[in-house]
Amino acid sequence: MRKAALFDLDSTLTDHATAFARWADEFGASTGIPLSALMRAETLHGGARHAFFADLKSAFGLRRSIASLHADYRRRSAELVPYRPEVCTAMQKLADEGWELGVITNGSPDAQRRKLETAHLTRYFASVVISGEYGIRKPDEALFQVALDDLGVGDPAHAVMTGDCLIADIGGGQHAGARTVWIAHGRTRQHLDPEPTHVAHDVVEAATWLLANPPRPERPSPLALAGG
């Protein structure tokens, strides 16, 4: 029986907060924009990079285009993702226990693959499915189906999706028929949010739970055993 452990990338396998903080230090030093202003813009806009850079351009008179600023951010922030050996160790333990490992992530293919390389994670994943290569984004269940097909896992009940976003990762994984692990980062799930199978503090804790809770093969019915 093949079993699949699927993972989100940003803020799950990789430390997005540290990568952003490192980028902000460099960008602030080169432009004179206070670090506090960059952090406020990040809190306000999050992953909406068009709005993030449009806001900074308006407030601080940046002359470069939003597209150029964003392209440099994608490249440099991917290069600044920290290497976390404990995450590599966790992935190796899963592989040693027979899990097929895959990444499902929204984003730019070049940037997302560079993050995996920078974090020393590329070699652990037989499948890396990136929205920018397929024209569909999580939580579309089709992206999950691509990953399962790539890993040769025919039954989504034998898969677990782990990620930090309740809508994209948990909701998407559930619609695809997989169990789910939410990386909560200290957050609290709201009443109408998708309910994960399990909640973990980080991806290492999630991997420990996966090792202790693999999918179980279906037992044949007594009638089948009797040949009836």
Residue 224 has pLDDT above 50, yes or no: no
Residue 226: predicted pLDDT: 52
Compare 74 and 226 and report the one with higher pLDDT. Answer: 74
Residues 114, 27: Cα–Cα separation, whole Å: 20
User: Where is 159: in which H helix or E strand?
Assistant: strand 159-163
Total-model pTM? 0.92
Asked, as a colleague might, if the bond just before 85 is cis with ω within 30 of 0, I would say no
Residue 219: predicted pLDDT: 57
Residue 35 has pLDDT above 70, yes or no: yes
For 115, the token pair is 């993050």
For residue 101, list its beta bridge partners.
Answer: 5
Residue 170 has pLDDT above 60, yes or no: yes
Residue 228 has pLDDT above 70, yes or no: no
Residue 220: predicted pLDDT: 53
Beta strands in 46-120 (DSSP E): 99-105
Residues 6, 207: Cα–Cα separation, whole Å: 11
Residue 88 has pLDDT above 70, yes or no: yes
C-alpha 131 chain-centroid distance: 12
Residue 218 has pLDDT above 80, yes or no: no
Residue 33 has pLDDT above 80, yes or no: yes
Render pLDDT for 182-205 as a digit per residue (tens, 0 to 9). 999 999 999 899 999 999 999 999
**How many Cβ atoms are within 10 Å of 53's Cβ, its own excluded?**
22
Closest CA to 161 of 187, 123, 194: 194
Render pLDDT for 46-74 as a digit per residue (tens, 0 to 9). 789 999 999 999 999 999 999 999 999 99
Instruction: Report the chain's mean pLDDT, rounded to a whole number.
Output: 94
Residue 22: predicted pLDDT: 98
